[in-house]
Amino acid sequence: MPFLFDFARWAPWVVLAFSALVLPVLLFIPAPYGRHLRAGWGPTMPAKLGWFVMELPSFALFGALLFTLNPWRVDPSVLLLGALWLLHYGQRTLVFPLLMRGDGKRKPVLTVVMAIVFNLLNASGNALQLEPRGFDLRFFLGVAIFLAGFGINLWADAKLRNLRKPGDSGYQVPRGGLYELVSCPNYFGELLEWTGFALAAWTLPALAFAVFTFANLFPRALAHHRWYRATFADYPASRRAVLPFVA
Ligand code: NDP
């Protein structure tokens, strides 16, 4: 299926173009979901279903393309990178939505459709362009950064989840651990994950995804941080938004 490989070759360039577009836009217009949900973005759907549907291509399509069409699919380094990706997206697609708290929360269908389009590009580019890497220092450093980020992301999302009792949908000030340094350690973990993945995979699609993750999550972290400071009078002044000691 040569057209799929052509599509995958173009995909990272489109992802980079998206990144250049979304970074400035999101600095002024926070993506309308979660605490930034507001009227004017069209029909909405249940948030849990939205998360499942929009992340599914990153899990199922990535796995299908990697294990059927990637010519290097039996190489140990490709298998390890594929396993890391599927570990992240298995959690994000199948576990995260089930555990989410905030009964009755909804998400604009538009955000789900945009995420699906993005994930189709990103998953196919990454699945088809993974290729063998030596088990050298750069590879292991990248894998270690990914795993550290994955651990931080899981810990930080669990911490937020536990601020709500089942059935609640309000917000509290998260405290403890990395929350003393930044408002959004879950995004910090996510940034580490895809930076580490890009380092280990050393492909254009992996680099493009790391760039996109920054373009998407850095403005969102700034918006969360502003929201926390405006909402809680006693919000700790020393916290940064997402990068400890930096921003
Ligand atoms: P948020 O931090 O906005 O929210 C995560 C969950 O915790 C939501 O259910 C949210 O509820 C709840 N929550 C957040 N803050 C509080 C609080 N102070 N008190 C109580 N509950 C709270 O993350 P996102 O929803 O934006 O993202 C979820 C995951 O997806 C993260 O791990 C993120 O890294 C990842 N992600 C990755 C992207 C990428 O580009 N790679 C893009 C977007 C997300 P509610 O929804 O009701 O606000």
Rounded to two decimals, the pTM is 0.97
Tens of pLDDT, residues 138-197: 999 999 999 999 999 999 999 999 999 988 999 999 999 999 999 999 999 999 999 999
Q: What is the dihedral of CA 185, 191, 150, 133, to 10 degrees?
A: -160
Tell me if 172 CB under 6 Å of ligand 1.
yes
Tell me if 100 CB under 6 Å of ligand 1.
yes
> Ligand 1, residues 157, 183, 191, 193: which to mutate, most atoms within 8 A of Cβ?
157
pLDDT at residue 2 is higher than 90: no
Closest residue CA from atom 32 of ligand 1: 186
pLDDT at residue 1 is higher than 90: no
**DSSP states of 1-50 as a string?**
-HHHHHHHHHHHHHHHHHHHHHHHHHHHS--SSGGG--SSS--EEEHHHH
